A and B are shown apart, each in its own frame.
Chain A
Amino acid sequence: MIAVEFILSGMLAAATPFLLAALGELVGERAGVLNLGVEGLMALGAAVAFIIVYHGGGHALAFAGAGLAGALLSLLFAFAALGLQANQVAAGLAIGILGQGLSALFGKTYESLTVKGLPKLSVPGLADLPVVGGLFVQDPVVWLSLAATPAIWATFAFTKTGLLLRAVGENPKAAHSIGYPVIAIRVAAVAFGGLMSGFAGAYAATVYTPLWADGMIAGRGWIALALVVFGTWLTLRIFWGACLFGAVSLAGLAAQAGGVELPSQLLASMPYLVTIVVLGVISSNRRLLKLNGVASLGEPFKP
């Protein structure tokens, strides 16, 4: 029971870095662009945010700086992959390596330093419930991410912006021929993805574990990429997927606390192993992927 309470109360915070990055990547992929640089974008955002908070700039400025850094680096990706038609897979990898390198370079003198996280806000009444009460005590960024999820869902479902994004992802030729600026829309979508990845990194480094260590993103950017596939490009499914991964990353700790003897390396690999298994299960269902997949994902478009 204690383990369940522990997982329920921490799950959303653990899920937030995955969720923010995956939602950003979703917008880019819906517009037809595969940006594999999420890990590097998150790492850069994490370093920028940590440095700002450490020097007393506060969390709001830190998130703004991290988001800006993520967006700028992803615009460099957009320039290569969309402007110059470079290979999207390779350009994404390059951005990832570059982002991780810059993160390590900027963060070098901050190794093992800590900052103060954010206070938690609780929902009156609900927070006192037994077992599930912990779900309603979260930091402000978790609440904002919870608000961002339905907002992005509604944007795709009801607004012209959402329709445009989907149009350039499904059939860029048709979108172009009726006069929409395909490349400009894609660039904007990629920049949004970079912004969200920057936020995700900022959350990981200054709120969730407010301690700087090189490589602290530890594959979470890659899992966010996998989450977009798990969620079959649907916002709400990505949300549930992120919650699952939040729970998985805590389940190990809960098991250890409960006296289960497992090698710590197995616990550390758990999110990666779960990713591999779930990818296999979801991908083997071809109908599901065909139904919701993005037709022109990763394909270059030249007007």
Chain B
Amino acid sequence: MSAARIWPTLVRRERPSLYLKVLAPLLALVAATLINLLLYLVMGKDPLAVFHAMILEPFISFSSFSEVLLKTGPLLLIAEGLAIGYRAKVFNIGAEGQFIIGAIFASALPVWYPMATGQWIWPTMLLAGAVGGALWAGITAFWRVRLRANEILVSLMLSLVAVQVLNYLLLGPWKDPNGFNFPQSVMFQYDAMVPLIIPGTRVNASLPIALALALAAYVFMQKSFIGYKLEVGGLAPRAAGYAGFSEGRAIWLSLLIGGFAAGLAGAAEVAGPIGQLQRSISTGYGYAAIIVAYLGGLHPIGIIFSSVVMAAIYIGGDNALVSADLPIAAVRVFQGSLLLAYLMAVTFVRYRLAFPRPMSGAPA
């Protein structure tokens, strides 16, 4: 039953188009912007005002751009970790929970020892956060490797549990006794804060740390043998098995790296712009980082650019809330449509469209 085709079909290219690979995220960004501006128009908002507040403003003033840089740090860290796993086909979508547990582990030190002083405190907190994130991701790894449970579902469930752990601590044992009953911990002491690096802004040392780890991820994924084996394990598990690299080890490594990076990001957030443990330590960074990882083509260098873009979307969303009365939920809509648009665009890296030939004599 082969009816005459009326729609075009996908035909595999002889080799993937490098040109489109670079162009795909930009096309997706343009498409998502246009669709969302249309949505704002339907909602009765002035699309030009939103465009100005959301897309231009983050880059116009230095103070706004410094906030973009501040948000780039956690997104970059988490996304670099996730991308390593995604390339090995290990779908850790629980970075949000690993981020929260990282923040909790880091906060333990200033909460328990609020009087401690010394420049060792903030580095210790960052390390504790990273270890906490890795431990939390380790649960998923154990479930996946030993029990063969789906890592997507387990890591997500653990994120929902992590939110409850955070709530428990903030409403109970870690609540600031002088905090007017707000669900938040004490403010951290000076030495528990990551040092600022650009005077007059909130940008702190976690950004260069994130950039350094991005470069380390580049060396690891593109140049090292373990990184190569990880990727082969994702593409061709059987071949990797013959080469003596077990699937289990790849899953453990992917999840531990992902959890480590997300936990570090969580620690840097409480020891940075926030300065205490509170409920809103993450505005969905763990989920946004999934988008950042894909938008950056799962490539360590590409992710540096995509994390700046995502950070700008966050700041732009805040701006648009203030100046154009756009609900903050619009940011999530933008994020979702951006990922979807990118995934559609990236199809054409490997495929091209073949249009059906018009039948001779058929009416147009």
Contacts and interface: CB of A to CB of B under 8 A. Distances in A.
B235 interface: no
Given A101-B332, A269-B160, A84 B339 contact: no
Interface stretch (A117-125, A131-139, A270-278): A270-278
B344 A104 contact: no
Interface of B: 1, 10, 43, 91, 93, 143, 146-150, 152-154, 156-158, 160-161, 164-165, 167-168, 171-172, 287, 290-291, 294, 327, 329-337, 339-340, 343-344, 346-347, 351
Contact of A90 (B154, B157, B171, B294): B294
Contacts of B93: 93
B146 to A, nearest CB: 8
A229 B153 contact: yes
Contacts of A284: 146-149
A286 interface: yes
Contacts of B344: 79-80, 84, 86
A276 B157 contact: yes
A16 interface: no
A273 B332 contact: no
A280 B336 contact: no
A86 B329 contact: no
Determine the main DSSP class of A at the interface with B: helix
A263 interface: yes
B165 A265 contact: yes
A7 B355 CA distance: 59
Classify the secondary structure of B's interface with A.
Answer: helix
A98 B167 contact: no
11 contacts: A76-B340, A80-B343, A85-B347, A90-B294, A105-B333, A108-B327, A265-B168, A268-B164, A269-B161, A272-B157, A272-B164
Contacts of A98: 332-333, 336-337, 340
Interface size range on A against B? 35 or more
Given A85-B347, A225-B153, A265-B168, A280 B332 contact: no
B153 to A, nearest CB: 5
B96 to A, nearest CB: 12
A11 interface: no
A203 interface: no
Contacts of B329: 101-105, 108, 214
B137 to A, nearest CB: 14
A94 interface: yes
B161 A91 contact: no
A284 B160 CA distance: 23
Given A85-B10, A263-B172, A272-B161, A99 B330 contact: no
B134 to A, nearest CB: 18
A179 interface: yes
B157 A222 contact: yes
Interface in A246-261: none
Interface of A: 36, 40, 76, 79-80, 84-87, 89-91, 93-105, 108, 179, 214, 218-219, 222, 225-226, 229, 263, 265-266, 268-269, 272-273, 275-276, 279-284, 286, 289, 302
A217 to B, nearest CB: 11
B10 A97 contact: no
Given A86-B346, A104-B329, A265-B168, A279 B149 contact: yes
B153 A94 contact: no
Given A86-B344, A89-B91, A219-B157, A280 B149 contact: yes
A36 B291 CA distance: 15
Please give me the 6 A-B residue pairs with the lowest Cβ-Cβ distance, nearest first: A98-B336, A101-B332, A104-B329, A101-B333, A97-B336, A86-B343
Contacts of B339: 90, 93-94, 97
Contacts of A100: 332, 336
Contacts of A99: 336
B48 to A, nearest CB: 20
